[in-house]
Homo-oligomer: A and B are copies of this chain.
């Protein structure tokens, strides 16, 4: 997108970190996490695989840069809503991003110590502060929320791996529900009862319900 065109650059489509990340995201989005290879990426960029290493340290750094780009974009929209609504909106933006790009969820879950995660932590923390949570519990509260988001991110990535684009989602969930129902009633009574809810539940709503639970706990402690 914003290609830092340097002076003295020869071709319009010269290699640059931005362009590499851009193409990586395109591959990731279109074909999934497992399709991103330095060889395929290099082919798409019409270079050698080694060339990429001049611009990016390694594959983890590449994924981190790609994740950072998307998270930045997702968090860019301002929110001057009251804190309670603002956290929900923030969480929801992260959820929707991960839902649209499941590999982001995978990378966040795998590498939580990355700038994008810090940005989420910052956004969450600010609202928690605005919520009037006492200083002594702000750290725990923000961490809890972020860890919850992280867990959902991983779940989402796993789901995407399990049901690649083109999969009949309803059928896949029905298959899981059927398996749950086959479990030993003595050992898994609760799971069996929940099988019925698997099919008609809404991931997004469920995600938000978890956020609300944590926020409610925070307000109860107030």
Chain A contact residues, CB within 8 Å of chain B: 109-113, 118-119, 121-122, 125-126, 129, 137-144, 146-155, 158, 162, 176, 180, 183, 187-191, 194, 197, 201, 206, 209-210, 212-221
Assuming the contacts A109-B109, A191-B125, asked whether A147 and B210 have C-beta atoms less than 8 A apart, the reply is yes
Identify which of B125, B213, B215 contacts A141 (C-beta below 8 A).
Answer: B213
27 A-B pairs with CB atoms under 8 Å apart are: A109-B110, A109-B151, A110-B158, A111-B158, A112-B155, A113-B162, A118-B180, A118-B188, A118-B191, A121-B191, A121-B194, A137-B209, A140-B210, A143-B210, A144-B206, A144-B213, A144-B214, A146-B151, A147-B148, A147-B155, A149-B151, A150-B151, A150-B154, A213-B218, A214-B217, A217-B217, A217-B220
Measured CB to CB, the nearest residue on chain B to A220 is B220
Assuming the contacts A187-B122, A220-B219, asked whether A154 and B109 have C-beta atoms less than 8 A apart, the reply is yes
Copies in the complex: 2
- The distance in angstroms between the C-alpha atoms of A141 and B216, with both chains bound, is 12
Query: Cβ of B209 and Cβ of A216 under 8 Å apart?
Result: no
- The distance in angstroms between the C-alpha atoms of A29 and B215, with both chains bound, is 37
Assuming the contacts A113-B162, A190-B129, asked whether A197 and B139 have C-beta atoms less than 8 A apart, the reply is yes
Identify which of B121, B137, B220 contacts A190 (C-beta below 8 A).
Answer: B121
- The distance in angstroms between the C-alpha atoms of A197 and B125, with both chains bound, is 13
Query: Cβ of B140 and Cβ of A176 under 8 Å apart?
Result: no
Query: Cβ of A122 and Cβ of B191 under 8 Å apart?
Result: yes
Query: Cβ of A190 and Cβ of B112 under 8 Å apart?
Result: no
Query: Cβ of A113 and Cβ of B148 under 8 Å apart?
Result: no
Given contacts A118-B188, A140-B206, 8 further A-B contacts (CB under 8 A): A121-B190, A143-B206, A143-B210, A144-B148, A144-B206, A144-B210, A147-B155, A151-B153
Query: Cβ of A154 and Cβ of B110 under 8 Å apart?
Result: yes
> A177 to nearest B CB, angstroms?
12
- The distance in angstroms between the C-alpha atoms of A201 and B139, with both chains bound, is 9
Measured CB to CB, the nearest residue on chain B to A176 is B113
Measured CB to CB, the nearest residue on chain B to A201 is B139
> A207 to nearest B CB, angstroms?
8
